[in-house]
Amino acid sequence: MPRLVWAGGEAATNLVVVADTRRVTGFLKYFADVYNTDPWLFAVWAVVITAVWGAILGFLMDFIMARSGLDLKSRKILEH
């Protein structure tokens, strides 16, 4: 098939993906700047935030389950 009908042209060699920081402020500006400048620090922040959100949701669900009468803390685990 001729190259004229293929979608696109020559292969891209230097592709750069950045976050647009022109219209953001506050925490979003900080995280966009970290994303643009330091991928390792951004990865560390992503892991920390994911762990914190997991803990928050876990404790929240435990509280909700205890309030609804399902106490999972005193559950006996029977393994054979």
Residue 1 scores a pLDDT above 60: no
**How far, in Å, CA of 70 to CA of 80, rounded?**
24
Task: Compute and round to an integer the Cα radius of gyration of the chain.
Answer: 24
CA within 13 Å, CB half, 15: 5
What are the respective helix, strand and coil percentages of the chain, to the nearest 5? 55, 0, 45
40-77 residue pLDDT tens: 999 999 999 999 999 999 999 988 988 888 777 766 77
The pLDDT confidence band at residue 24, using thresholds 50, 70 and 90, is very high
Looking at residue 12, what DSSP letter applies? P
**Residue 16: band (very low, low, confident or very high) from pLDDT cuts 50, 70, 90:** confident
- pLDDT at position 31 over 70: yes
Q: Tell me what pLDDT residue 69 has.
A: 83
